[in-house]
Amino acid sequence: MSEDAQKDRVDRWLWQARFFKTRSLAARQVSDGHVRVNAERVTKPAAQIGPGDVLTFPQGRQIRVVRIESLAKRRGPAAEAQTLYADLTPPSEPAPARVGPRPTKKDRRDMTSFRDGDGSE
């Protein structure tokens, strides 16, 4: 196989791996400078990537870090897409635990009337 056979566009791969709903969304993330390949920022959606490269990009409220394991021939189902990469994203901190049960509707009304100084019960 030639060198080009093991390369693909970064926007197409992100779309095929199902990180973005459309290819144009993936291309926009790259164009806006939000994607890094091997710790270097890329701004061209046609930037070439291959197996072994590490991508860093924001997705929702977290920063994703993935290592490309293989390239795709098509955008397949999610189970197939998950075989394209190894997720290196550090685990996020868990949300703080609640300190008791959630207040009921009556409890919230009582708190509101107490806070407003209504005095009526």
What is the distance of C-alpha 87 from the center of its chain? 11
Domains along the chain with CATH numbers: 3-92 (3.10.290.10)
Please tell me the distance from the alpha carbon of residue 50 to that of residue 113, in angstroms, as a whole number. 62
Q: Which residues contact 58 (CB under 8 A, 6 or more apart)?
A: 29, 34, 64
Q: What letter does residue 17 receive in the DSSP assignment? A: T
Q: How confident is the model at residue 4 (pLDDT cuts 50, 70, 90)?
A: low
Contact 15, 23 (CB under 8 A): yes
Contact 54, 32 (CB under 8 A): no
What region, left, alpha or beta, does residue 110 occupy, with left being phi > 0 and alpha being psi -120 to 50 degrees?
alpha
Q: What is the pLDDT of residues 6-41, one digit of tens each?
A: 899 999 999 999 999 999 999 999 999 999 999 999
Q: How confident is the model at residue 96 (pLDDT cuts 50, 70, 90)?
A: confident
Identify the pLDDT of residue 1.
Answer: 46
Q: Which residues contact 49 (CB under 8 A, 6 or more apart)?
A: 7, 8, 9, 10, 13, 37, 55, 68
Tell me the mean pLDDT in the region 86-91. Answer: 91
| Higher-pLDDT residue of 6, 1 | 6
Residue percentage of the chain with pLDDT more than 90: 69
